[in-house]
Copies of this chain bind each other. A is one copy, B any other.
Amino acid sequence: MAGNSFGTIFRITTWGESHGQGVGVVVDGCPAGLALSEEDVQRELDRRRPGQSSISTPRKEEDLVEILSGIFEGKTTGTPISMLVWNKDAKSSAYDALRDRPRPGHADWPYIARYGIRDHRGGGRSSGRETVSRVAGGAVAKKLLAESGIAVVGYVRELGGVRASIPEGVDISSLRDEAEKNPVRCPDQNVAEEMIRVLDRARSAGDSLGGVAEVVAFGVPPGLGEPVFEKLDADLARALMGIGAVKAVEIGAGVDSAGMKGSEMNDPILPGTEGLKFATNNAGGILGGISTGAPILCRISVKPTPSISRPQRTVDLSTGEAVEIEIKGRHDPSIPPRIVPVAESMVALVLADHLLRLRAAKI
Contact = CB atoms under 8 A, between A and B. Distances in A.
Contacts of A260: 210, 303-304
A28 B13 contact: yes
Interface residues of A, number: 158
B292 A109 contact: yes
Interface stretch (A41-49, A51-59, A76-84, A188-196): A76-84
B301 A69 contact: no
A130 B227 CA distance: 11
A105 B360 contact: no
A258 B356 contact: no
A312 interface: yes
A237 B300 CA distance: 12
Interface stretch (A164-172, A178-186, A270-278): A270-278
Interface centre among A240, A322, A359 (most CB of B within 10 A): A359
The 7 closest A-B CB pairs, nearest first, are A107-B288, A3-B226, A2-B29, A234-B242, A110-B290, A113-B222, A238-B238
A175 interface: no
A222 B2 contact: no
Nearest to A250: B248
B116 A33 contact: yes
A97 interface: no
B68 A228 contact: no
B21 A68 contact: yes
A11 interface: yes
Contact of A238 (B31, B210, B221, B235): B235
A105 B22 contact: no
Interface string A241-279: 110100111111111111111111111111100011001
A172 B256 CA distance: 28
B361 A78 contact: yes
Contacts of A209: 261-262
A17 interface: yes
Contact of A287 (B107, B115, B308): B107
Contacts of A244: 288-289
Interface string A89-126: 00000000000001011111111011111110000111
Contacts of A291: 110, 113
